[in-house]
Structure 1
Amino acid sequence: MSADSHPTLPPVRLCSDAELARDALGAPLFARAVRLARWAGPGTRVGVGGELATDQLPEAAVVLGLDTADEDSAGYASQAWRVAVDTGLVDVTEPEDDNGEGDEERFGTAAPGEDLALVTSGAPGDVLDLWLAALDTVLADAAVPDLDDLVDALDAGGEIDFDRLDWNPGREADFLDGVLANLYLLTVTEGGAADGPIPLPVLAASMIVPDGMGEPTDAVLEQVSDAMMRLDDQFRQLEPIGLVEFRPVDEELMAEADGPLESETAGAGGGGAGAGAADDEDVSRYGMVRLTPLGLYGIRARMLEAGVDAPAVGELAEKGADALLDAVSLYSEHAAQAEIEQWLAGREQPAAAAELLAAARGDDEGGPLRRLRCQQALAPAGPEAEPAVRSVLDDPELGGLARVWLAERGAGDVPAPDPEMVFWLTVDTIAAQLAADGETEELPLLMETLTAHHTGFFEQVWRVEHPATAYVLEAMGRLHPDKKAAKEARKAAFKARSRRPA
């Protein structure tokens, strides 16, 4: 799974290992693999690649409770057996090579593997390791063309013509990994798809439509349509292992379509921006997919293995406040709050407050946002934290934060801040908001509120010894809703730039 596209991802909230292990054991394909592993014994015959002998597939299907009259039952049994072998749930001894002598087909043997015991007696992590191995097998299978394509690509000698098939194993695996990475990102990003399934056209378009393209061309829409149909087949294969919940493309829709689904794809959100004007029912006919909690765990595990920074909420619970504030400074407010709550849960309030305040200091570029997250972390703290907060009232970087915290709780004997601290806190607050959310619609109102009560604000603020003073004033010059104040901010920004050494 490529680590290039999204080197740092938003944090994901995972279920416990015990819950995930139960989901893994309940995944239909994994459960079938376990059942066949328990069935394997002295009478089980396997071929050169460890595959189950053809004449044993009907018996395996019966063991799995499948309808042997269904022509697909043998395929389901074969797939479950392959998963059992690849995960170590079954040990196979392949047939000995007869060096071409004799016409009789030779078979190897199979028996339950040592890892089968982990299903019932192992820790949740052991079960999840087995499931991840099973997932690797299923993903590899999903990247292989379907049988019809393989048949069409046979040459006169009965060999597969790979040039005609236009199939590159590495390319197909990378494409599927990219799709799953995008699905993961859409799921964990706030305002993304966490609360609902993703339309298949949107997911396909995320892989095909170039960034910045306005109206997709017919050629691009045809590629999106082809990708949709490929994903439809792949997600059908991935659902039984518990990775996704999937609603396939409506077969009637495919029957109705005259050629590729270019026009229909466009109406269902082919540009990647959403479902457009089509209603929910129309969009759902083109396929809908959602990662399960187990799927989130599985894709994250693969990303970590590929070197992608894919954090999970709770990972920082045992780390220091400096690591906490540095990490959550990159998170959204909601994700930061979830991480902070878990960090605070295992600590005494006085010590936690003191550690957070110490970690919030610093005149580096990340300082303002660290102090904003520190303020967020201290917000739910009770009276036990007050001594630690009062201890920094005279701190030039933390004194303003401390006064705000105490004032919000109606504390007495809080000294009024001097003008220099007020201006410094104003700059720090706006710098933190810019770092956290960028130039949002709410920021101009905040600027107006912070400057309205100070006569001659811009005549004084450019002198503030804060590394972000000029940067903040430039932003105010662009965003302040009062034109006169915006002009004053631009002049102040120039003065602030001029007084700082080159």
Structure 2
Amino acid sequence: MSAERPILPPVRLHSEAELARDALAAPLFVRAVKLARWAGPDTRVGAGGELVEAHLPAAAEHLGLPADEEGAAYASEAWRLAVDTGLLDVTDPEEGELPDGSEGSDGSEESEAEGTVTAGENLALLTSGSPQDVLGIWLDGLDAVHADATAPVLDDFADLVGEDGSIDFDALDWDPEAEAEFLDGVLGNLYLLTLADNGAGDGPVPLPALAASMIVPDDMGEPTDDILEQVSEAMMRLDDQFRLLEPIGIVEYQPVDEALMVEEGETADASAAGADEEDVTRYGMVKLTPLGLYGVRARMLEAGVDAPAVGDLADKGADALLDGIAYYPEGAARAELQLWLAGRGPQGAVAAAAELLAAARGTDEGAPLRRLHCQQALALAGQEAEPAVRAVLGDQELGGLARVWLAEHGASDVPPPPEAMIFWLAIDTIAAQLDADGELDELQGLVEGLSAQHSGFFDEVWRVDHPATADVLEAMGRLHSDKKAAKDARKAAFKARSRAGG
């Protein structure tokens, strides 16, 4: 059975140890850890687990921040993350930690009960746990920040907040699922752009292009004014969201130049007045970090998206390996094969080669591509694979590639292939390249090279007992630059279909 083409190319992730170090160095995570270690038995929290206002100046000071409104906001954000990630455990006020009539943390008699906090189990795991433990805690933090980023900005809806702090969500016209889906879609597009061209697209992406990828229909020519307005609104929302996401370590973000957002009638900063309005970087630039690739992929996997990573197949059987890398880019396929072979070691080279050759057999649609990747794997396996390769010299499906391997490794006693095997290997090789969607110039060169090696090629090749013979000959008729050879290929394809009764 032919392997399914993956929606996403495989990602090459940094090692878990490197990613865990990146997670521990993320600014927001650093602040959350500092506050978790700073909190003591006298630290008080409100009903929602938030640090009481009286403690915020001291928390900000501990983080090296000014004890003003901005410092308090950063401290409050870090505190929430510490609670959300289990670095701190909150004791609810109802549990009676603060008896009626006792003094609150600021020395006054509290009218409202307060809870307390203790160190959570996850705090110790940051130093004693494995990289996987650290990354698991960080992922919880990413989920919390993602939720914050998709929440409504309540400052814009002050009239919907009641005197008791309650919010009229019905009047807010806010769809949390739609907001989360949009941000995940943006991160997914950024992920795909990062992996484009086998990882060559890992530079920063202009925010307008990212917003447009979610708004502008693929088949639209010139965007309408309404579409452009939607893109502009999406940019501003994404600017806010990426400012929130950057401190957790998943993106490097250059925000939108604030001079571009000056309201009509206001005066822009003098230094920005002469700035180049055509400079796309002023509209925001964003790039996924290695930790961001890991985090976005983890969210995709949780959502049921097939997001492969190099190394996923290292502990699988050869059949799963060859099917799994069927449509990987060349570099990723090679890396996956190297990891698979390394896991079996030099002592297991013969058994590994034999397993690969067995998995490469078959007459199904995906078999030619499996054999192509088997050949690539055997090239990486080295001389130790020779006994397994020699064992299939007489096999119709594998004998041709076995002879190629032995010749490439300098063997002097390679038996000449029967003519039927030569033609079969030619059809199989072109079928694999057609399935792999190779470069047109390379494919054309292969077609012309193989047909030129044998006189009367098209007079004989249509008789080859290979499931792809007719399809390959039709493709050769389309690709061959010589008109007579192309016509001969089309005639041979007709004969092959007639012979097969199709």
| TM-score class normalised by the smaller sequence | 0.7 to 0.9
Identity %: 71
Equivalent residue number for residue 319 of structure 1: 316
Alignment of 1:191-202 (within 5 A): 191=198, 194-202=201-209
The equivalent position to 2:130 in structure 1, one of 115, 123, 127, is: 123
- 1:84 lines up with 2:82 in the alignment: yes
Q: 1:489 to 1:163 in 2, by over 3 A?
A: farther
- 1:229 lines up with 2:236 in the alignment: yes
Equivalent residue number for residue 283 of structure 2: 286
Q: 1:214 to 1:479 in 2, by over 3 A?
A: farther
Equivalent residue number for residue 12 of structure 2: 13
1:332–1:436 contact (8 Å) kept in structure 2 = no
TM-fit CA distance, 1:73 = 1.3
CA distance in structure 2 between the aligned counterparts of 1:463 and 1:380, rounded to whole angstroms:
34
CA distance in structure 2 between the aligned counterparts of 1:205 and 1:235, rounded to whole angstroms:
16
Superposition RMSD in Å: 2.7
CA distance in structure 2 between the aligned counterparts of 1:148 and 1:495, rounded to whole angstroms:
75
2:477–2:488 contact (8 Å) kept in structure 1 = yes
403-412 or 146-155: bigger deviation: 146-155
1:245 partner SS: strand
Provide Cα deviations, 1:91-118, integer angstroms capped at 9, x if missing partner. Answer: 11222299xx998122111121122111
Equivalent residue number for residue 66 of structure 2: 67
TM-fit CA distance, 1:291 = 1.2
Equivalent residue number for residue 270 of structure 2: none
Equivalent residue number for residue 106 of structure 2: none
2:217 partner SS: coil
TM-fit CA distance, 1:214 = 2.7
Equivalent residue number for residue 36 of structure 2: 37
Alignment of 1:406-485 (within 5 A): 406-438=406-438, 440-485=440-485
CA distance in structure 1 between the aligned counterparts of 2:6 and 2:409, rounded to whole angstroms:
41
CA distance in structure 1 between the aligned counterparts of 2:410 and 2:265, rounded to whole angstroms:
71
1:437 partner SS: coil
TM-score normalised by the chain length of structure 2? 0.88
2:313 partner SS: coil
CA distance in structure 2 between the aligned counterparts of 1:93 and 1:198, rounded to whole angstroms:
44
Provide Cα deviations, 1:152-202, integer angstroms capped at 9, x if missing partner. Answer: 766999975656654211110110111111111222233565431222122
Alignment of 1:355-434 (within 5 A): 355-434=355-434
TM-fit CA distance, 1:35 = 1.2
371-380 or 158-167: bigger deviation: 158-167
TM-fit CA distance, 1:453 = 2.5
- 1:171 lines up with 2:206 in the alignment: no
Alignment of 1:105-254 (within 5 A): 105-151=112-158, 165-191=172-198, 194-254=201-261
2:191–2:293 contact (8 Å) kept in structure 1 = yes
1:180–1:299 contact (8 Å) kept in structure 2 = yes
Q: 1:38 to 1:48 in 2, by over 3 A?
A: same
1:150–1:160 contact (8 Å) kept in structure 2 = no
1:442 partner SS: helix
2:492 partner SS: helix
2:335 partner SS: helix
Amino acid at match of 2:153: D
- 1:58 lines up with 2:57 in the alignment: yes
Q: 1:91 to 1:97 in 2, by over 3 A?
A: closer
TM-fit CA distance, 1:404 = 1.4
2:116 partner SS: strand
TM-fit CA distance, 1:390 = 1.9
129-138 or 39-48: bigger deviation: 39-48
Amino acid at match of 2:479: L
Equivalent residue number for residue 271 of structure 1: none
CA distance in structure 1 between the aligned counterparts of 2:429 and 2:278, rounded to whole angstroms:
45
320-329 or 430-439: bigger deviation: 430-439
Unmatched tracts of structure 2, length 5 or more? 102-109, 267-275
Equivalent residue number for residue 294 of structure 2: 297
123-132 or 438-447: bigger deviation: 438-447
The equivalent position to 2:303 in structure 1, one of 292, 301, 306, is: 306
Q: 1:156 to 1:318 in 2, by over 3 A?
A: closer
CA distance in structure 1 between the aligned counterparts of 2:17 and 2:198, rounded to whole angstroms:
29
- Alignment length (residue pairs): 475
344-353 or 81-90: bigger deviation: 344-353
Amino acid at match of 1:331: Y
1:92 partner SS: strand
CA distance in structure 2 between the aligned counterparts of 1:485 and 1:280, rounded to whole angstroms:
57
- 1:334 lines up with 2:331 in the alignment: yes
